[in-house]
């Protein structure tokens, strides 16, 4: 397995592989790899010949210095996990390599970044898109696999790749969950034992909302069903619950004209447990867990 630390090194390797007809798969990460990431790697491996994993904690996408500084960085463990998973190359650049002196450009998400997480995390999606463009330029993949847990991010990146004609197939991989339903996240390791036990309220709140939607309840009642589950947990502080169009990300005020079928509407939530912010989402009319 190769390890590269500069965009130029990474690009040279990828170009050489592409020249021999190899298809490159890409899984961008911020490290602290868990089984969810390994599922993305396996997905990319099924679709391509060589998988590249990036490990880079991107400073441009963090709104709080404490969150950035506290983000786990077990680089040795991550590299070992990649090697065991059969990854062909790891791209682990420094911030200076990605954003050298004089770097000024930012990639703006447009309307998809102005809703949901956007107003709550100013500049976050600009930071995400900027680093993804840089990573795409270095790795030059045919396929890039992202998790659906960050659904808005996935939707924005998919739109950007299409609008800017990158020629990259952006794939959304279903959320990988712990046995109790909690979506796997690198931030989960920062939860105390008590907070981790309480965090099961997040997937259960979505269960309640989906059940309410299936019963034909109004949007307010669907949101209320999720909210009541979170509010019943003392350790949880609800930031938001929203029901939205799966493509435009615009909130639904009414479900009367929304077909009760998968792929149309989703529900998302953000919940705080101490200083850890967890997000989750599901298809509102799913046939199976996504």
Please list the active-site residues.
37
Residue 206: which of 282, 152, 271 has the closest Cα? 282
Say how far apart CA 27 and CA 37 lie, in whole Å: 8
Whether the CB-CB separation of 11 and 138 falls below 8 Å is answered with yes
**Cα–Cα distance, 82 to 79 (Å, whole number):** 5
Distances (CA, A) of 41 to 71, 133, 168: 21, 20, 16
Instruction: Cite the DSSP H helix spans in the chain.
Output: 7-19, 35-47, 65-70, 75-84, 95-98, 117-120, 124-139, 151-163, 193-198, 201-214, 219-231
């Amino acid at each position: 397995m190769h390890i590269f630390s500069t965009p130029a090194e990474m690009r040279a390797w990828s170009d050489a592989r592409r020249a021999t007809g190899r298809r490159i798969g890409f899984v961008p990460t911020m490290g602290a790899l868990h089984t969810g990431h390994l599922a993305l790697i396996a997905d990319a491996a099924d679709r391509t010949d060589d998988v590249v994993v990036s490990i880079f904690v991107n400073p441009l996408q963090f709104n709080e210095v404490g969150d950035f500084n506290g983000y786990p960085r077990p680089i040795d463990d991550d590299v070992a996990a990649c090697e065991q998973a059969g990854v062909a190359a790891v791209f682990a650049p420094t911030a200076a390599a990605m954003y050298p002196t004089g770097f000024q450009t930012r990639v703006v998400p447009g309307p998809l970044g102005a809703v949901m997480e956007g107003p709550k995390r100013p500049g976050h999606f600009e930071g995400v898109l900027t680093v993804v463009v840089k990573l795409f330029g270095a790795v030059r993949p045919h396929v890039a696999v992202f998790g659906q847990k960050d659904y808005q991010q996935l939707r924005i990146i998919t739109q950007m790749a299409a609008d800017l004609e990158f020629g990259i197939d952006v794939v959304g991989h279903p959320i990988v969950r712990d046995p109790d339903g909690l979506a796997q996240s690198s931030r989960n390791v920062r939860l105390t034992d008590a907070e981790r036990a309480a965090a099961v309220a997040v997937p259960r709140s979505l269960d309640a909302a989906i059940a309410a939607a299936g019963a034909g309840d109004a949007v307010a009642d669907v949101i209320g069903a999720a909210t009541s589950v979170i509010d019943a947990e003392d350790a949880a502080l609800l930031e938001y619950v929203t029901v939205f169009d799966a493509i435009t990300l615009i909130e639904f005020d009414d479900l009367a004209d929304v077909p009760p079928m998968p792929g149309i509407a989703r529900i998302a939530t953000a919940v705080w447990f101490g200083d850890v912010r967890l997000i989750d989402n599901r298809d509102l009319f799913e046939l199976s867990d996504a």
